Amino acid sequence: MRNQIENPVDGRVLKHTWQFMRATFAQAPEKFKQLAESLPELFLDSETDIDLREKRKVYLIIAKFLRDNFQKPLPVCLGTTHILCDEADPRLLLDGVLDDQAKQLATFAKELVIAVKVLYEPLPTRSYNRLVEILWLKNDKPTVVKVEEEVPWDYLVADVREKRLLSGADTLTFKLYPQEA
């Protein structure tokens, strides 16, 4: 316990504090809200599970898109992302804020966001290009926002590696929103 108090950057203490504060995020002091903007990145950086890390990275890309276009705090946008993508993993849900503001933003975003896809394309370097595509209505016109990043083979989610090894699949696409019934 002493190390946790002396080392305020300890991930467990930070996550525990966040779990408490996220429930009352709307009433939190402005300084805490500013600090909370960096928490999703810290949770991503401290993740050791490859699949969870990749999901966190993709969700963070979507949340930053929402933040930049709807001017809401990043933790709220991350909660909204979890709603849009129908995420159920409690480990991931703890990263964002799932309050009324996130739910209202999700309702509003559903009117403007048409689709969210993630494509994994193999590169000749034994890595993949991850392409997150967000199709949305901007000024009543369909607009695509693309965010690309190279992902080394060892850091790919298990589904992508399995499909590549078992079926030789080249480009793999995952549709995150809207969810198909």
Q: Which of 9-18, 84-93, 112-121, 159-168 has the lowest mean pLDDT?
A: 9-18
pLDDT computed for residue 181 by the predictor: 61
Q: What is the mean pLDDT of the chain?
A: 88
Q: Which of 6-15, 47-56, 89-98 has the lowest mean pLDDT?
A: 6-15
Q: DSSP string spanning 8-65?
A: TT-HHHHHHHHHHHHTTGGGS-HHHHHHHTTHHHHHHHH---HHHHHHHHHHHHHHHH
CA distance 7 to 174: 39
pLDDT computed for residue 164 by the predictor: 83
pLDDT computed for residue 169 by the predictor: 74
Is residue 80 scored above 70 in pLDDT?
yes
* pLDDT tens digits for range 39-76: 889 888 888 999 999 999 999 999 999 999 999 999 99
Answer whether 156's CB lies under 8 Å from 149's CB: no
* pLDDT tens digits for range 112-155: 999 999 999 999 988 999 999 999 999 999 999 999 999 999 99
* Domain-wise residue ranges, the chain: 2-177
pLDDT band, very low/low/confident/very high, at 2 (cuts 50, 70, 90): very low
